[in-house]
Structures are given as C-alpha cells and as structure tokens.
Structure 1
C-alpha cells in the first residue's frame, strides 16, 4: 500500500477506466425526502454504470417522505430516532453492506463510468476519500459549471495535492466515497446535523488519516442550484452557529477568548504524580493564550472509593485532591490510561507532570507544527540521570491525523509519522517550558499580558545585544581620541546612554 505524504496523492497510479478488474463492493447511499421523481432519475443513471452490477447495491434512506419513496432494485430503509440529512446518511450507511460507501444526493445524475472512476482509487488505498467532479445544471443534458469556490480551491492547490490539512473542506455528500472501515473509524455521520454534516464528517475523516482525491473523471451533474447558491448568507449564518464547536480548524469561528468549546484544538495529557506538580502542569495548560485547550489527567481514578478513611493520612490523598480540584472544571477530564488518540481534536500534547507551559507555549508549538505540516514536534526538557546521560525527558505535540494514518502501516509510529508528515526536535526552554518550581504565579494579569511580557523581554534582550554590537562598531570606527580634545563625540555619548538605559 502506497504511503501518501500530507495530501499529495500523486504517488498513486489509478488504472485507466475499463482496463482493470474490480473486486470491492460498493453501497450507494441516497438520503431521500419527498423526491420520488429525482430519485428515479438518479437510479436510471445508476443502472447504466460500467462498474459490475453484482458489486453494487443501492440503499435509499427515506427521511419521512409522504408518501414513502419507492425504488425498484434498491433497499429502502426508514429513518427512525431522528430526522434530517445527518440522520438519513447514518441510517443508510448502517444498513449498507458494501466495502465502500458512496454518498449520492437524489438530485444527481452520474456519468456511466462515475462509480468506476471512484472505485479504482479505493483499490489502491484503504484510507482515500474520493470527491466527484460535480457540475451544476438547470436541466439534464447540459454541460454545467463547477461552483466558483471549488474551482478556485482546486486551481490553487494542484487539485488538493497542496491543500495540506484543509483538503476536507471540499468534502460533500453529493457524490463522495469512502471505505466503510474508515467511515466507522471516524465515528460515522453526526445524526444531529441537518446541514453541513458533510463538512463536519470530512473533518473527522481527515483526523482519521484520510487522503482526499478529487477525480475529474468522476463526472456528475447536479440538477438545479444548491441551497448555498440560493441562500449563501443564510446557510453560513445557520451552519457557523455550531461548526465552530465541532471543527476547531475553523479558527475564525472561535474568536471568543474565554468560552468552552465541545472539541478542543489541543488536548494536553498529564499523568498524575503529586498534587502540587500535577496541578502546576494542569493550571499552566489551562491559562495559556490558546483558549480552546483541554486537559486529560491520567491516574487510577477507579481506586477512589467512598468508604470511611483518614482525610489527611489517606494513601491516595494526592489523587483525591486532584480529583477535588478539577471535578467541576469542564476543560479537564480524567482517564485511567493515556489515550492513543485525541480524535477529533487535531493535536495532542503529552506533557510530563511537574513541567509547565508558558503563556504562549501551546500557540507557538501549534504554529511551528503548521509551518511545515509536521506530524510530531518533540520538545527536549531534561536528561533523566544516569552515567551515560540517561533518557531525554520530553513533551510531544502529536498531530492526530498523522498518527492515525501511520497506524495503518507496519513499523515504528514515529518513523512512519516522519515519512508521512515530518518530525522536529526543539529545546524546551526556547518555547516557554520550565519546571514547576521555577514557574511564575498564574494570578493577576490575563494570560495574554503574561505572553506579551515574555515577548517584550525577549525583544529587550535582542535590542541590548544590538546596542552592544553598535557600540563596538562605533569604537572601532572612532579610533583613538586627540589628547588635546578628550571629550567623547556625540555618537559615543549616545551609545553610553543607551547602554545605561538598557
């Protein structure tokens, strides 16, 4: 199986249409609501597909149509326990038996080789998401055009090869396909969403390690304008009310500096040791300039039972105090073991207890990771004793998508992440890490002012170094002064003034 770095799927070589032997089965899942005529038109195009009919099933998820929809040759399942596109898509895919799920809107017409174009990619890679080439038409038979946003995105990213972590933004439910196993790994469709469920699912597929491939040979036509085309501002107003909570990558939707978000941007994991050093690590992580950070504290929480005990001599006292401290903090959770993944959170920071973050540390690490789309940033904190130097104590910022994709291959996880995304080692002190005993108090000014003070201190050091350099240059150029005129020149006086002011 080929290894794709970031989203550059150019290493994949799909076979020519008509020149290969398909093996995988596919379920075409169509959400339907009062659309009998459009559904029959879509089914007519499906009946003419070049992909082997014995490998294709059609599942229609009827979302409460009156009268119920009917489609000969398809399995029709009724949506129960909810309503809307999210509920219908999930009901359809749960009923499907194919190895690949192909989403299809009822108002779509597929070219005869559309399914085959999709499926050849799935035979190459088990974590690819294929996006059909959709043109919008007013009536069947027209050539149509792509949406402007889609065209610009494809042109500016080499058909998503350079899209990095944002490739999922072109994922739609109109005509995309995904392996059923990858869909399950991502958590399926959010049944509570009636709009933007495809964007939110695309984001979670990305966190599961997906590679997104837009195939211009997977031609399809959407009959009539989309809701976005007709009511764009209203659609954004509706969807952005909850997408910010679910998709932390959409940073412009998270402008509030203090509120709690359902899906954090970074999850910090700390294993519980003493009350004091664990608390220092947790509190510092929560007090930074990155407002949507959350913390998981790992420990044997199941041992905290409610029987009579000595309040001060309890052998589990430190653990109990930590639970008391954070039991009602919504950004702190408790776990018995370290999580393998933070999905759907895009970043996981593994932080040794007793080490604290500076006010701007998390934000700086994420920026560093995003500069080159790194999958792992390792932060060297100290050496753990021993005559030969011992092991390096380190913090690790892991990109969820990178480790999810690496897990699909055999080999050491860090080495695979390096190949697929890249790994970088940095020194902790340069990025604001420090031992708990040296950490400044968190009270007083807001975190942003603490971060600003740190940056101003760094700038002051740089300016002092520049002053020293200029002073040395002035002395070199000035040369020895005349004995009859020992008074220093105005430039030398200025340099001495700057030094004293520093």
Structure 2
C-alpha cells in the first residue's frame, strides 16, 4: 500500500539509497525541442549513460517545428507537434506518444548526472502521487558547478525543502527536470497545449489539485546550460505570464484583485441540489453575492427532462425545475449538472450547501480563511438537527480528497489523517435558513459586510468604554478628575460621542 503523506511533508517516506534497490517501473523521458539539434544531442547522449536500467527507459523528442526538422536523433524517438505550437503543445504531444509508467520532463539543454533518473524513479516506486523535482543548477558551460535560481534556493530554504510549503509547493514545479506518474498526469488533464510559457507552473497547480506531493531531490543532479529566460528577462516574463495565470490558477489571489471580474477557474465551487424554486434560488443567489467574488455554483437536477414539447405552463409538473433553468441559463457562474460532481478540480474548494440554507456576505471567505489556517482538508458546518440527524454544509479541499482517493478507506477519515478536519457552528459563520435571511438588494455583499464590520467596531468600542469606566472609577477614588475630562473633552467622552454617532 502506498504511504500516506500529510500535506506536503514527504519526510515520512524513506527512499532506498541509489544503487541499492531493484527498479521495475518504466519511464518515458519527454523532451520538447525547437531548433536545438546540438544541445539535444548532448542531452540524449547523457540519457544513454544512466544507471537506471536501459530496458526501462524510452526517450521521446517532441519536435515543435524545427527548421530543418529533426529527423534522426540517436537514442530517441522523434514525434512531430501537429496541433498548435510552443512548449505546452510539445510537452502534451510527447507525453501522449509515451508508453512509460512515469513521464520525466526534460529540457533540451540539460546535462545529467549518471544517476539522475534513478534518483527520480525511487520515489515513484514508493508512492503513486509523487511529483519529483530535480536539483537543477545553471552553468555557462559544461563542467561548471553552477548555481540554483535565486527563487528556487529561497523557496527551499524557507520551507524545509517544501515539507512546510503546504498548498503552494506546486510553485516550484518546472519542466527542466520533473517526473510524474503518467496516470496522475492524465487525471490532472495533461499539459495545456495553449500555453507556450508558464505551462509547467499551471500544470503543477492542477497536479496539486489531483493530490500530488512535490518532492525536490538534491541527489537528482542536473545542469542547465545557459540562464533561464526568467533570469534574463524576469519582469517581461512576469508581465507576459500574469496576463493569463490569474484566470487559470485561482490560488494566486494577488492576481485577482479586481472586485467584479469573472474568472475562468473559480476559487470555490458550491453545489446546490434543485428543489423548490424559492428555496433553491435563495441558496444559489447567496453563494453568488458574497465577498468571495470568484465563487461559482453547480446546480444539480434532472435537467435532461426539460424538453420543448407543448405543456401547460403554470401546471407543468417540472415547473420549479424549468423556472430555475430560466433564471440561471445566462449566468456564467452557474452550471447545470445531472449529479453531484465528484470533485471541484481544478478549483481548490468545494462547498456542499443544503438547499434552503443561505450564506452570509462573508461566509465563504471566513470558511476558507479558517481552513487555510492549518490547511484543513474538511470543514463541516453544523446547521441544525432533525429526525435524520445533523444537517451540515461541507467545505472540502480538492487536493485533500484527491489524495484520499489513492487509498482504500472512508474518504473523510483519510482526509482527517492527511490534512485534518473540524466541525464548526453554522451560526458562527452566518448561515441562516432562507425565510430568515436578509434580502439581497443592491450591492448586497458590500453593504452587508460593511454593516457587519460596523457592528464589530461598535462591540469593540463598547468594551473599551467599559474598561475606561472602570479605570476612571479606580482613579476617582485616589485623585481629582482632570480638567479636560471634567469638561467633557477626555478619551471617555470622545468614545461615548463616537458610539452615539455610530449607533
């Protein structure tokens, strides 16, 4: 049975020493290539000297339109990129042509230590959900020791080599030298063929949502000849990549600072099951009206029954279902589904919201903040108790439940072991039944949140007044009041005046 890793703390795994184990898994080394025949020949030659058994290795070169085309690369099979262009298209073409159990990405201008592949592959023999990151150093010429990129070095040092990186470990995923099981790669959706830069970061994010643990291996040594594009043109690279990564990676919250935009991948997906028109509408609308603006809703119901035949409009037995479809047919944040989705991927959070329950303006934001304090995999919200037991909402972390799927057992228990779970009170997070919820009028999220903030400020100020009153009484017993206070100009009087104006 594959071992359980909590969050990204892979320290519980004990890989065998290099040279002291018996490999069995096949690996396909996929190299995207464009007008780099000389460097490519050197890289492929290094693969022929690997300590990993040659019969378990295949090398696939994805030619991304080189001129002249790559024809014969000794030791490798060449495939052509026929749809699209760029690194994303080349990586996807190569991995689709590969047959190995593990896909090992490699840049075309890499120099490899002879045990590089073996260092990677020992982790994949331990767990099915590992993404191994090689120790890549940048050199001007072969034979130099080289240096890691500043970003990589800083990240590794500040996170105990990603053991403490939590949900952001994927940010170190690069295409220079990483490896992943082919079935995990395909479960995550493969490589985005439309990206020709940052495709490795975006893929790393989706692998994280698929349950991956990211393992940087210092013994998987490799050298990149020449600086990376980021090293040479960092600001320009960021300007380019950040124009679309905000749409694709909701975890990059700082790229989503616009208050009203819609984004391709929601940060949170709420699931509501269609019942009556009024109850369902109240739940769905509340999820769309909160301060967490990049939320979306999956509305579950038998939508296939809605056909176009003649019917009695007001006596239609499917009237409520039809009204809900009318209501949200053109709302881009609502999708219709016949069944509850198994996962919210690539969104990082899934909320199961019982129909007829309504969220407060800040409910989703508060729940996510609570989950992120200690990277909880599940937050269950107790709403009420009936004859059938506790009615609850559930906030599920996509990565946690994806990882739990690698194991046999009850998913909630597995998530608790690997990520942690908690129960909280619905009233604490502003859940209410539809009949008691405030109407959503105007900019509901803004004004409801502002009202809540003012109420909290008033509560804090009242507490401060009581403290100051007690302090004044204590001082009055020992001394004469100061003139300013006697004249109604002291701090206590100011607080009282503030409270009166606020309340």
* TM-score, normalised via structure 2 length: 0.93
* Compared CA separation, residues 498 and 47, structure 1 to 2 (3 A): same
Deviations 1:8-49 (A, max 9, x none): 000000000000000100000000111110110001111110
Does structure 1 residue 287 correspond to structure 2 residue 285? no
Q: Is the 8 A contact 1:471 1:495 kept in 2?
A: no
* Compared CA separation, residues 220 and 475, structure 1 to 2 (3 A): same
Alignment partner for residue 438 of structure 2, among 440, 444, 466? Answer: 440
Structure 1 residue ranges, 4+ long, deviating more than 2 angstroms after superposition: 458-479, 488-491, 493-502
* Compared CA separation, residues 308 and 79, structure 1 to 2 (3 A): same
Q: Is the 8 A contact 1:248 1:265 kept in 2?
A: yes
How do 1:172-191 residues align onto structure 2 when only pairs under 5 Å count? 172-191=174-193
How do 1:126-137 residues align onto structure 2 when only pairs under 5 Å count? 126-137=128-139
Match of 1:393 in 2: 391
Q: CA deviation at 1:261?
A: 0.5
Match of 1:114 in 2: 116
Alignment partner for residue 344 of structure 1, among 346, 349, 355? Answer: 346
* Compared CA separation, residues 432 and 47, structure 1 to 2 (3 A): same
Distance in structure 2 (CA, Å) of the matches to 1:176 and 1:215: 10
Q: CA deviation at 1:277?
A: 1.0
* Compared CA separation, residues 369 and 39, structure 1 to 2 (3 A): same
Alignment partner for residue 78 of structure 1, among 77, 80, 96? Answer: 80
Q: CA deviation at 1:460?
A: 2.3
Distance in structure 2 (CA, Å) of the matches to 1:472 and 1:407: 58
Q: Is the 8 A contact 2:10 2:215 kept in 1?
A: yes
Deviations 1:426-446 (A, max 9, x none): 111111111111111211245
Distance in structure 1 (CA, Å) of the matches to 2:228 and 2:469: 67
SS in 1 for 2:21: coil
Q: Is the 8 A contact 2:100 2:182 kept in 1?
A: yes
Alignment partner for residue 104 of structure 1, among 103, 106, 109? Answer: 106
Match of 1:17 in 2: 18
Does structure 1 residue 420 correspond to structure 2 residue 418? yes
Distance in structure 2 (CA, Å) of the matches to 1:157 and 1:102: 24
Alignment partner for residue 403 of structure 1, among 398, 401, 404? Answer: 401
Where does structure 1 lack aligned partners over 5 or more consecutive residues?
480-487
Match of 2:42 in 1: 41
Q: CA deviation at 1:475?
A: 6.8
* TM-score, normalised via structure 1 length: 0.94
* Compared CA separation, residues 465 and 61, structure 1 to 2 (3 A): same
Distance in structure 1 (CA, Å) of the matches to 2:450 and 2:108: 54
* Equivalences, count: 490
Where does structure 2 lack aligned partners over 5 or more consecutive residues?
478-485
Does structure 1 residue 303 correspond to structure 2 residue 305? yes
Q: CA deviation at 1:449?
A: 2.7
Deviations 1:311-344 (A, max 9, x none): 1111110100000000000000000010010000
Deviates more, 1:424-433 or 1:50-59: 424-433
Distance in structure 2 (CA, Å) of the matches to 1:19 and 1:33: 37
Q: Is the 8 A contact 2:271 2:340 kept in 1?
A: yes
Distance in structure 2 (CA, Å) of the matches to 1:246 and 1:128: 22
Q: Is the 8 A contact 2:465 2:495 kept in 1?
A: no
Q: CA deviation at 1:239?
A: 0.7
Q: Is the 8 A contact 1:464 1:499 kept in 2?
A: no
Alpha-carbon RMSD across the aligned residues, in angstroms, is 2.1
Q: CA deviation at 1:448?
A: 2.2
Q: Is the 8 A contact 1:209 1:404 kept in 2?
A: yes
